[in-house]
Chains A and B, each alone.
Chain A
Amino acid sequence: MTPLDKTSKIDKRKRRSQFIAFTLFKLMSYSVVAMLILILGFITTKGIGVINWEFLTTAPQEGMTKGGIYPAIIGTLVLVLGSSLFSFPIGIMSGIYMNEYATNSKLAAFIRVMTNNLSGVPSVVFGLFGMALFVNTMGFGDSILAGSLTLGLLSLPLVIRTTEESLKAIDFSFREGSLALGATKLQTIRKVILPMAFPNIITGLILSIGRVSGETAPILFTVAAYFLPKLPHSIFDQVMALPYHLYVISTSGTDIEASRGIAYGTALVLIAIVLIVNLLANFLRTFFSKRVKMN
């Protein structure tokens, strides 16, 4: 056997092991995709027949085995709006502070660690905390206010991180240019940096809406009502919410078998929200990245 034959043999073996490994990785990756298609496909085929105009616009009837999910849709919208009113301004301001003012200081490092920690706190702990602080100590009771604040706190780390990343992506020369023209720091941020970061920030905010609309554990004890056909009148009312509704009718409804259809419909509506939110975010991302060419 010549040395050349030996090398080619090793070469063949190497090639084969590479082929096996890469095929395996490819298969595993596609199986993850298949899993998603399985979940989405299953819920879509089972739920699509339930969804019609009446399902989306009437209240549940007969022990939640008939009727629609209108109050739950409205409740989720109200909660998303309420939590956004709280988390967007504070989160964006916090992100600005961390990227523009507190760069490299010990304080910024500390805040960053705390923000990371907060994003790791389980949602059920937010629920406990919201109940102890907003519902009991502050005396809001089970209300939209308490639920929105709890959800707002939960989505804060996401909003802060998005803002920070968007600001970080802007080249430093823009800041220097603005400052050199005599603008103050605040003017620079307002007139130059924020408009440039706006597309990315919006994309992140939309994704955080998707997250908030699907959360169940934080609203269990702060706002969610088991059954409440009336729509809320003030921020101190309770509301139904889509994720909680799905949980209730699939585990502890009056007649679980009879309300299965409604459960599939509710799950599909929840998934549709997430799909729309993701598509919108992706669309905006490509739309803006084509229009605004920075750096």
Chain B
Amino acid sequence: MKRFLEKLAEGALLLSGSITSITILLIVLFLFKEASGLFRSPVIEEGYVIALNKANTVKSLSSYEIKEIFDGEISNWAELGGKDEAIEVVRLSDLTNYYTEEELGAEFENIPAKASELTASHPGIVLFLPKQYLAKKFDGITLDKETIHPGDFFGGKEWYPTASPSAQFGLLPLLLGTLWVSLGAILLSLPFGIAVAVYLAEIATMRVRNILKPIIELLAGIPSVVYGFFGLVVLVPFLQKIFQLPVGETALAGSVVLAIMALPTIITVAEDAMRTTPRAMKEASLALGATHWQTIYKVIIPYSKSGITSAAVLGIGRAIGETMAVLMVTGNAAVIPHTLLEPVRTIPATIAAELGEAASGSAHYQALFALGCILFLITMVLSISVEFISKKQK
């Protein structure tokens, strides 16, 4: 009986022990399941179809090409590898330019027939039509089987998730926005973090340390939304004033807020690493006549190099995944940034801002899960590299 209980308890403990692994597995499963749907969803807005003239040699259009056509950026089929023919964009509302209201019918019952007729008679046409108006025997090519290509997502330079007729799910502006903000943050916080770590580990007296440590812990405890709020009411107007910007919500504001938020992580990890320096090494250096400062930068810092690297990587990981504070201060413009003084939009901020509006199961929803996958993969790689670095240290 007793032995049975022991076994039972051990089983229950093992089950609890495996919960984190199960969670990771489930996260991978659900994220990738929803995200993979993106590459099966149609390029064109749900419920619509794009039709071309039968003689047109262009047989498929990518999401980006459709957008460029409807924006008027591409105006000749030759640009898409077709015949030299001007592109004629026709939406449902444009049909009245070709036919009178009587011809289309009082209840628009003639639209299917007329649309078919129009497509057959205009060689350069590209017609954007709700599926319900597609005639049974439509005289033209319809592009409704086109799905979003991985290249459209991974190489896409534009993020317009609600654009019509073809939404743009380009990863690049968001990825670059995330990297800019995070790198800015780490460049700001790393020097401070290491300086504070050295001060705490080597210079400060026990009493000062006992005061500073809880303060740094407190800095880590402040919720990100409070940092975001502080950034919004203090930092953003301040940056706008000193740099004379049209808007203060910029990548730089995000970097500064993230730098403050990443500090506790960097300080703690770097300080712990410096504390592991063997006493004998320090004493040997001092005995050879080196000053304390020389010992720090010639012995302690080189010895704790991998710990400091871990600190930097963990800080970057923290910065890349941070959501609320960044969402509140970076201005959220989904364009590829050129300077730190422009509004940017990061991956987590995009997910947080848009998931509420995206209908469950839509391409937009799936695209946001795809962003989640990217974020998850980045942080996984960072976590594993920290693991690797600290193993090397041992």
Which residues of A have CB within 8 Å of B245?
none
Cβ-based interface call for B293 (8 A): yes
Chain B interface category by residue count = 35 or more
B24 touching A207 by the CB < 8 A rule? no
B203 touching A216 by the CB < 8 A rule? no
Interface residue ranges of A191-225 to B (CB < 8 Å): 207, 210-211, 213-217, 220-221
Q: Considering only CB atoms, which chain A residue lies closest to B214 in the complex?
A: A282
Knowing A128-B369, A129-B27, say if A32 contacts B196 (CB, 8 Å).
Answer: yes
Cβ-based interface call for A251 (8 A): yes
Distance in angstroms between the alpha carbons of A282 and B292 in the assembled complex:
32
B328 touching A274 by the CB < 8 A rule? no
Pick the interface stretch among B9-17, B76-84, B124-132: B9-17
Interface residue ranges of A13-55 to B (CB < 8 Å): 14-15, 17-18, 21-22, 24-26, 28-29, 31-33, 35-36, 39, 42-43
Knowing A133-B26, A270-B226, say if A21 contacts B293 (CB, 8 Å).
Answer: yes
Chain A CB count within 10 A is highest, among B18, B200, B323, for: B323
A270 touching B195 by the CB < 8 A rule? no
Please, what's the 1-or-0 string for B112-135, where 1 marks a CB less than 8 Å from any CB in chain A? 000000000000000000000000
B369 touching A113 by the CB < 8 A rule? no
Cβ-based interface call for A263 (8 A): yes
Which of A29, A36, A217 is close to B199, meaning CB atoms less than 8 Å apart?
A: A29
Cβ-based interface call for A178 (8 A): no
Cβ-based interface call for A75 (8 A): no
Interface residue ranges of A95-131 to B (CB < 8 Å): 96-98, 100-102, 110-111, 113-118, 120-125, 127-129, 131
Chain B CB count within 10 A is highest, among A15, A96, A131, for: A131
Q: Considering only CB atoms, which chain B residue lies closest to A274 in the complex?
A: B221
Cβ-based interface call for B5 (8 A): yes
Pick the interface stretch among B58-66, B155-163, B374-382: B374-382
Which residues of B have CB within 8 Å of A260?
233
B23 touching A153 by the CB < 8 A rule? yes
Which of A21, A97, A124, A274 is close to B218, meaning CB atoms less than 8 Å apart?
A: A274
Q: Considering only CB atoms, which chain A residue lies closest to B30 in the complex?
A: A132
B34 touching A132 by the CB < 8 A rule? yes
Which of B6, B292, B321, B351 is close to A186, meaning CB atoms less than 8 Å apart?
A: B6
B226 touching A120 by the CB < 8 A rule? no
Distance in angstroms between the alpha carbons of A137 and B382 in the assembled complex:
30
A101 touching B13 by the CB < 8 A rule? yes
Knowing A215-B223, A216-B225, A243-B223, say if A250 contacts B232 (CB, 8 Å).
Answer: yes
A32 touching B263 by the CB < 8 A rule? yes
A96 touching B13 by the CB < 8 A rule? yes
B101 → chain A, closest Cβ, in Å? 42
Cβ-based interface call for B299 (8 A): no
Q: In the complex, how many residues of chain A place their beta carbon closer than 8 angstroms to a beta carbon of chain B?
A: 85
Report whether over half of chain A's contact residues are helix, strand or loop; otherwise say mixed.
helix
A104 → chain B, closest Cβ, in Å? 14
Which residues of A have CB within 8 Å of B196?
25, 28-29, 32
Distance in angstroms between the alpha carbons of A179 and B23 in the assembled complex:
34
A278 touching B234 by the CB < 8 A rule? no
Cβ-based interface call for B139 (8 A): no
B389 → chain A, closest Cβ, in Å? 12
A157 touching B20 by the CB < 8 A rule? yes
Distance in angstroms between the alpha carbons of A117 and B385 in the assembled complex:
11
Which of A31, A114, A125 is close to B321, meaning CB atoms less than 8 Å apart?
A: A125
A90 touching B19 by the CB < 8 A rule? yes
Cβ-based interface call for B372 (8 A): yes
Q: Considering only CB atoms, which chain B residue lies closest to A282 in the complex?
A: B214
Known: A132-B31, A251-B232. 17 other contacts (CB 8 A): A24-B195, A26-B203, A28-B199, A29-B200, A39-B260, A42-B234, A90-B16, A101-B13, A117-B384, A122-B322, A129-B372, A133-B30, A184-B2, A210-B221, A247-B328, A267-B229, A278-B214
* Chain B residues with a Cβ under 8 A of chain A: 2, 5-6, 9-10, 12-14, 16-21, 23-24, 26-27, 30-31, 33-34, 191-192, 195-196, 198-200, 203-204, 212, 214-219, 221-230, 232-234, 260, 263, 267, 291-294, 296-297, 314, 317, 320-324, 327-328, 348, 351-352, 355-356, 360, 368-369, 372, 375-376, 379-380, 382-384, 386-387
